[in-house]
Structure 1
Amino acid sequence: MKTLIKTIVLPALVLIGTATQVSAQTKRSNAKQKTVVTTTKRTTTVVNKANNRRVSSTKVIYKKPTRKVVSVRSIPNKTIVKHKGQNYYYANNKFYTQSRGRYIVIAPKVGFRIKTLPANHKRVRFNTHNYYISQGIFYIQINNAYEVVDPEIGTVVYELPEDYEKVTIDGQTYYEYANVLYEKVQVDGTRAYEVVGIIDME
């Protein structure tokens, strides 16, 4: 009887124990593989978002087909801003270009410089940059001047200028001002707008 137990029952118990251990290891192994796949998907999405920060203007669809153009006959106390060999004008915290005897309000181009920040500016720190924002325009300090720049992706602001526009890109709705794309977000329960891209004009 003892011989029968040793030759049949003990090997059977060893086989069952081994099979259970292998099955448990397989389940653990599968669980690890699933976690890796999920992480990889998240990483890929973030990388794609970062790489696609510049969006072709041909992909942007504006909700309104035309934009209202604001112009005035004269600008008192204007400052001339030279940019790439062309004259622009700065007064009342706004930039203008001249056309047919009138001054047309424009969003300043990247690279414009002014000596004094607009009175209503706000300071925002993101990563290593101090941005100064006024009416949707981002400035950084360079020596004794302030230069218009594109903000970094991820920069958050709490308000947009009144004349921002709603746009869609690949069916998603965004907010645009001065070629900067924003997405509405919540920060500590407060509505805010995160920079998600820059439109390349073509």
Structure 2
Amino acid sequence: MKNNYKIIAILGVFLLTGITEITAQTKTTKKVVTKQVTKKESIKRVPTSKVVYKTPKSKTVTVRTLPNKTIVKNNGQNYYYSNNKYYTYSQGHYVNIMPKVGFRIQTLAPNYKKVNYQNHIYFQSQGMFYVQIGNEYEVVDPEIGTIVYELPSDYEKVTINGQTYYEYGNILYEKIQDNGTRAYEVVGFIDAN
């Protein structure tokens, strides 16, 4: 009889050990790791007073001469095109500028990229977005959500309400990953006063 109790006790220990191991395995396999991904909302239009630039003063690029310049007339004003940039002439210097929405040209720079977003086809060159209208190309604001894969080298980092964005030509971008590739999504615009 004593042997039966010993056998039952040993079986009980083995059985409890087995249950403990199964329970431990079950607990570890049920562990779920959740990762919350937060996406900044588009900010649409924001006044310049709400924008904090990493570099407080913008660097105005001026030159005395432009090699191989082309004169582009738009709305009665002369613009000068050279080295894939636009300039105006003021007090003996050429000042680098970004053409405003509505500016039209006949020919795009040879380094433009075609950008498709929803039903829009944009032509992007030097940070500017164009749409084709007849035989001309007009500068436009891109739709929010438009994605590009590189920004011009002289973009600026800005902060709005504690969030960091990238700005070029008053267009605000957020850095994102698109199928494993770094990209920039249009999230808003700065209203220049």
Q: Same fold (TM over 0.5)?
A: yes
Is 1:71 aligned with 2:68?
no
RMSD (Å) for aligned C-alpha atoms: 1.8
In 2: Cα distance, 1:178 partner to 1:68 partner: 14
Map of 1:7-156 to 2, 5 A cutoff? 49=41, 52-156=43-147
Paired residues of 1:185 and 1:193 also in contact (CA < 8 A): yes
Deviations 1:3-32 (A, max 9, x none): xxxxxxxxxxxxxxxxxxxxxxxxxxxxxx
In 2: Cα distance, 1:193 partner to 1:64 partner: 20
Give unmatched runs, 5+ long, in structure 1. 1-44
The letter of the residue matching 1:66 is K
Aligned-residue sequence identity (percent) comes to 65
Is 1:193 aligned with 2:184?
yes
Paired residues of 1:81 and 1:112 also in contact (CA < 8 A): no
Large movers: runs of 4+ above 4 Å? none
Partner of 1:58: helix, strand, or coil? helix
Once the two structures are TM-superposed, the CA of residue 84 in structure 1 deviates from its matched residue by: 4.0
Given candidates 159, 169, 173, the residue that maps to 1:168 is 159
Paired residues of 1:83 and 1:111 also in contact (CA < 8 A): no
Once the two structures are TM-superposed, the CA of residue 76 in structure 1 deviates from its matched residue by: 3.8
The letter of the residue matching 2:146 is T
Give unmatched runs, 5+ long, in structure 2. 1-38
In 1: Cα distance, 2:119 partner to 2:183 partner: 21
In 2: Cα distance, 1:83 partner to 1:179 partner: 20
The letter of the residue matching 1:163 is D
- The number of residue pairs the alignment matches comes to 155
More helix by share: 1
The letter of the residue matching 1:148 is V
